[in-house]
Structure 1
């Protein structure tokens, strides 16, 4: 795996590492190095060398630095000269850039390939409100991108991910999962959210560049899933708040195969099973019905997490609920 060094003046690199792992999950072979006010060029150069030495693969290293021409960049560049056939440096580090680099490592094994791939996300991550302040060519480019990503011949949806997540569309979905499954549309399926204009607006704004986000009631999703005339070429990422809504869709004839289970928040009557999942008896019964319907379960928050055993989770949930009776 390509090693990544985040380098900055002050604690910026450490902060962006913490923020990016909150969104994408804990990362291996990623180090943050900081140039502190009392330190000089030799100090950060030594930190960079130490970070590189800790990587499993020291031949492929990507530097994401805060400022082109600054001391962190300059010291990384002195080391880069000896490895410029494989290493890469990208300046102007921001959170979209870092997250995109994490996602790219899942399918790319070259630091220079990743460096080239993350520039678009880094640039598109810089936006402004009100939108009228944005340059006309930027807005035009975004519109063209959306049109291209949603083109397709007549046919039904391809469901690239169906996920249960009580938080719905948030950073892990908008970045980690979207990067992995490449949807053209994200569809939040929720009766409650469909009635909440504020939440709908926030979800639509949280969609990654080039992807349209929609919020629809469960019954409307059933209609969309049965429409074989308008959705060819559409790669749909479905987000549900709970398993009960998934079961409604499945029982209505929508052909889902695998359910990714990312987060189910704790509330009164539920048992906490791990950091991310809490269930009550209704949830357990619903998952068993989905299992009987032939669906598989993929229990993990982000793509690079290890999958958990859903059978063991359901057994633990039932045992804990039985103790309360």
Structure 2
């Protein structure tokens, strides 16, 4: 696996490393190197050498640095002498880092990853209001929601169905989208479908090349039964809660696995782990989903280890029962 050195002035490297872990999970063979005010170039070089020595594969190393021509860049350049397989990319941003993590899953060279992440890093630089963007040549219009990318009849290919109380956010827009490669992200929620502001924010949060939609549950059921317009479309469905999933499945949306990523805590709920909170209705709903034959993929990000949903529900039920008795 390609090793990655994140090198910056100040603590930026450590902060963005933490941000990347929140979105894509902890990564092996990735190190943050900081240039602090009291340090000089030799200190940075020594930190880089120590980090590289800890990598499993020292023949393939990618440096992600903040400034072209700055001290981290210069020291990385010096270390690259005679290392024809190494690469440096300057202008570090979070989208670049996440894309480099995702690329390591399928690319085995630092040069290949360095070339690939440039487009993502550039696309991540945007401005609002959009009128401030420089004019560009008109691109080919994206397919509408009811149009197949292949022109062939057929239904959706469901690449992921996820319960996430935050719906479309960084972990979904980067980690899960890169992992599943959808052409459509569809938020399925009656509440959000009635909220113009939330709909607009979700549509704006869609990653480049993927269109986001918000539909009520009955509309999703209707779309799922359309066998003429969605052939070739890869759908990533987002639900706020298990109750909406149950309504969709009972109505005919053909799901066999639900990714359980995040369920926020609120009054009356118990929290058996860091990211999932349940009340009795939630527990009962998951039991019904299991009776319908659905399997549960309990992961916040693709790199996480799978959680045991049966064990999580047992602990949640025990805590609810304990609260009733106290």
Please, what TM-score do these two structures have when normalized by structure 1? 0.94
List, as ranges, runs of 4+ consecutive aligned residues in structure 1 with deviation greater than 4 Å. Answer: 147-150
1:144 is aligned to 140
CA distance in 2, matches of 1:249, 1:277: 21
1:9 to partner: Cα distance: 1.9
CA distance in 2, matches of 1:57, 1:145: 43
Q: Is the 8 A contact 1:260 1:297 kept in 2?
A: yes
1:324 to partner: Cα distance: 2.6
1:145 to partner: Cα distance: 7.6
CA distance in 1, matches of 2:182, 2:173: 10
1:250 is aligned to 249
1:147 to partner: Cα distance: 4.7
1:125 is aligned to 124
Alignment partner of 1:324: what SS?
Answer: helix
* Change over 3 Å in CA distance of 1:116–1:145 after alignment to 2: farther
Stretches of structure 2 lacking an aligned partner (at least 5 in a row): none
Aligned 1:227-266 pairs, distance under 5 A:
227-266=226-265
CA distance in 2, matches of 1:319, 1:107: 42
1:57 to partner: Cα distance: 2.2
Please, what TM-score do these two structures have when normalized by structure 2? 0.94
* Change over 3 Å in CA distance of 1:51–1:213 after alignment to 2: same
State yes or no: 1:315 paired with 2:314: yes
1:275 to partner: Cα distance: 0.2
2:103 is aligned to 104
* Change over 3 Å in CA distance of 1:96–1:104 after alignment to 2: same
2:283 is aligned to 284
Alignment partner of 1:144: what SS?
Answer: coil
Mean alpha-carbon deviation: is it higher for 50-59 or for 301-310? 50-59
CA distance in 2, matches of 1:116, 1:295: 40
1:46 is aligned to 46
CA distance in 2, matches of 1:103, 1:261: 21
Alignment partner of 2:37: what SS?
Answer: coil
CA distance in 1, matches of 2:41, 2:148: 48
Stretches of structure 1 lacking an aligned partner (at least 5 in a row): none
* Change over 3 Å in CA distance of 1:87–1:146 after alignment to 2: farther
After superposition, what is the alpha-carbon deviation per residue over 1:279-308, rounded to whole angstroms, capped at 9, x for unaligned?
111111111111111111100000000001
After superposition, what is the alpha-carbon deviation per residue over 1:227-282, rounded to whole angstroms, capped at 9, x for unaligned?
11211111110000011111111111111111000001111221111000011111
Q: Is the 8 A contact 1:263 1:277 kept in 2?
A: yes
- Aligned-residue Cα RMSD (Å) equals 1.7
Aligned 1:1-325 pairs, distance under 5 A:
1-84=1-84, 86-137=85-136, 140=138, 143-144=139-140, 146-147=142-143, 151-153=149-151, 154-325=153-324
Alignment partner of 2:275: what SS?
Answer: coil
Mean alpha-carbon deviation: is it higher for 122-131 or for 299-308? 122-131
What is the aligned length?
Answer: 321
